[in-house]
Amino acid sequence: TPYADSHRYTRFEDLQLDKELGHGAFSTVRLAINRVNKDKFAVKVVHKNKLKKSDVDALHVEVGIISKLSHPHVVKYFDFTQDRSHYYIVLEVVAGGELFDRIVQRVYYSEKEARDLVWVLLDVLHHLHGKRIAHRDLKPENLLLKSAHNDHDIKLADFGFATEAKKPLRELCGTPAYVAPEIIKEKPYGLEVDMWSCGVIVFILLGGYPPFDDSDGVNAMYACIKAGKFTFDERFWANVSQEAKAFIKSLLQVDPSKRPSAAAAMNHDWFTKHAMELSTTD
């Protein structure tokens, strides 16, 4: 469509920067409006003076990866440029805000809503992992909701730690509460680290609190992660199905080789049993 084409050829020079949409450890993301046709975009602005050489390399890897991805649930890339003080990455704007804020607002998700959301996340991971790309920073801050009225239609953002996993990875990265045990143990690791983080996300969606927290310090949290030690507190989990709990347990396995791939996860009882329930009650 002409609309899609006008998007595809949008360049940073055509845009007027507007209000802040969000920020992370490395960047501020701002709304930007095409001066001519008023189309809206998000521009990830990275200040150069905070960057080491390795950060600049990582930024180029991030752009290289997002520019090659094309998936309805991955934030679309349009342009990358720089001036003396900043780098600018032009992206599709995702207007509903962070899943993080939505969980905080709602406290927790119903199983149906969580299932719909996690299905999309697994579909995206299946796509990425099929290209041997590890995201390495899956968390609710990096899952953006398409609109304020829909709680499960997400787009994956922030490929700042993403990398091609052609051979075992060693770099320590991610966010402490979501990081897989093999990374903390400084073992070579692979795509399975994303499946672990996915398990943490499903736990938070259904429980309303994280499986591993640092209220006793980050080292105590790491010890729990390394041991795969978490519990389903009855006060919060009594009404959650056995399938959901089994699904979380399968993802939060310390041995990465035992975790399901994204495709295998999509075949878990948590999804398939529900599909059968639907077809028999229709």
> Which residues belong to the active site?
137
Dihedral pair phi/psi, residue 177, rounded to 5°: -70, -15
Residue 182 and residue 118 in contact, taking contact as beta carbons nearer than 8 Å: no
Does 226 carry a binding-site annotation? no
CB of 202 to ligand ADP, least distance (A): 19
Tokens 């507190």, residue located: 233
Contacts of 267 (CB under 8 A, 6+ apart): none
Structure tokens, 248: 């979380």
Residues 6+ apart with CB under 8 A from 119: 266, 271
Nearest CA among 81, 197, 93 for reference residue 140: 197
Please choose, from the candidates 202, 190, 191, the residue with its C-alpha nearest in 3D space to the C-alpha of residue 139. 202
* Least spacing, CB of residue 25 vs Mg ion, in Å: 7
Sole binder of Mg ion in the list 6, 7, 24, 150 (CB under 5 A): 24
Q: Which member of 6, 7, 26, 223 binds ligand ADP (CB under 6 A)?
A: 26
Positions 40 through 59 that interact with ligand ADP (CB under 6 A): 42, 44
Q: CB-wise, 128 or 265, nearer to Mg ion?
A: 128
Alpha-carbon torsion, ordered 128, 131, 135, 141, to 10 deg: -20
Rounded to the nearest angstrom, the gap between the alpha carbon of residue 114 and the centroid of all alpha carbons in its chain is 15
| Interface with Mg ion (CB under 5 A), residue from 14, 62, 98, 158 | 158
| Amino acid found at 58 | A
Question: Binding to ligand ADP (CB under 6 A): which residues in 129-158?
Answer: 141-142, 144, 157-158
243 binding ligand ADP? (CB under 6 A): no
Least gap, CB of 104 to ligand ADP (angstroms): 13
Residue with tokens 């729990």: 224
Residue 25 binds which entry of Mg ion, ligand ADP, none, with Cβ cut-offs from 5 to 8 Å by kind?
ligand ADP
Q: How far is the CB of 70 from ligand ADP (least distance, A)?
A: 15
Number of residues that bind ligand ADP (CB under 6 A): 22
Interface with ligand ADP, residue 201, by CB under 6 A: no
d(CA 126, CA 122): 6
- 260 is a site residue for ligand ADP (CB under 6 A): no
Q: Does 21 bind ligand ADP (CB under 6 A)?
A: yes
Q: Would you give the DSSP letter of residue 260?
A: P
113 binds, among ligand ADP, Mg ion, none (CB under 5 to 8 A by kind): none
**What's the burial of 1, exposed, middle or buried (CB within 10 Å: 0-12/13-18/19+)?**
exposed
Is residue 93 a contact residue for ligand ADP (CB under 6 A)? yes
Residues at the contact surface with Mg ion, assessed by CB under 5 A: 24, 142, 158
Residues at the contact surface with ligand ADP, assessed by CB under 6 A: 21-27, 29, 42, 44, 75, 91-94, 98, 141-142, 144, 157-158, 160
Binding-site residue positions for ATP = 44
